Amino acid sequence: MKHYQILADEGWTHHETPPNRYHHFFVALLAPADVMSKLEQVLKNSIQKFIFNNHKEIKWSKLNARKFEDYKLLIDTFFDFWENCDELKYRQMFMDRKYEYSGETNQKEELFKLYYQFLKHSFGFDSEYFKSLGIENLLFKLDDYPDRERKEILKEYVKNVYKDFNVNIKFIDSKTSLIHQVIDILMGAAGYYGNFKCCKNKEPKIQDICKLKFAKYIQKKLEKIQKQDRNTKVFHWFESTGYVRSDLDKRHKFKIVIWKFIPNEHRIDSTWQHSKNKDIQKLKNKAKYLISKNFDECDVFKDKL
């Protein structure tokens, strides 16, 4: 009997002023249970080598120049493990304000409805390929929420969708899971990089520049994984992965699948299109400059990828 685990979290501020183009990020890692256990142990071993005592909880929001080398060690450990493990998969869903939802909105329900979509469609569990693996047990480990009622609704929904499997859903405190903490970093890096967060201040602080460089570092790591897995030349962090929508087998098969969630009811707001927005072009150019400039506090590219 094979056991499979899905560790997932959601994040990225949805209602900031000015608003972020890319928002409502959902990220999950999925693998056989024994692979997840090995990964958790490898990550635990790595934090014993930290320079600073960051053991309480490692989060994207806490990254600064002082903790930079520790975070780099953790992420390098994760990607080194992943490069040699074909069974570990990364799934990301997000929204783009270029495709503005035009239906009725309920902010309290929105997050959970999107979570439903992510858990239902992102993993290819209904594909013939997945069924051929002989997996019987699915354990979802989701970052905990205070809303007890919606947690119960989510549990029943997932069990209903995957009734062919023995499904269990646990809500856990991310402080107890280094894998969840890595997910938080991956998700935070995506939102920070795509929304040019560092570049919106006239004089970015060194900790913001460190975050930008670290996000680019992660982007290059993901690019390398995808190239090895699918022989692709370009990695798109903010576009849906090609050739998976019509082929359910590939939703599970590939190491990286990214899904830009576009609601059926939407209108296109072309002001968010980078090529038509001079302000966004300026932010993009500023980001390129800051990434290329050397900073002693976070010279992440001194060792070439």
pLDDT band at 279 (very low <50, low <70, confident <90, very high): confident
Q: What percent of the chain has pLDDT over 90?
A: 44
pLDDT band at 305 (very low <50, low <70, confident <90, very high): very low
Tens digit of each residue's pLDDT (9 = 90 or more) over 181-234: 999 999 999 999 999 888 877 788 888 999 999 999 999 999 999 999 988 888
* Confidence at residue 55, expressed as pLDDT on a 0 to 100 scale: 63
Give the integer Cα–Cα distance in Å for 259 and 245.
9
* Confidence at residue 241, expressed as pLDDT on a 0 to 100 scale: 84
* Confidence at residue 25, expressed as pLDDT on a 0 to 100 scale: 94
Is the alpha carbon torsion for 170, 172, 178, 182 positive or negative? positive
Which of the following CATH numbers is that of domain 2-298: 3.30.420.10, 3.40.1170.10, 3.20.20.140, 3.30.750.24?
3.30.420.10
Tens digit of each residue's pLDDT (9 = 90 or more) over 75-89: 999 999 999 999 999
Instruction: Output the average pLDDT for the chain.
Output: 86
| Between residues 132 and 304, the one the model is more confident about | 132
122-136, 229-243, 258-272: which has the highest mean pLDDT? 258-272
pLDDT band at 2 (very low <50, low <70, confident <90, very high): confident
Q: What does the pLDDT average to over 61-67? A: 91
| Between residues 1 and 12, the one the model is more confident about | 12
Can you give the pTM of this predicted structure? 0.91
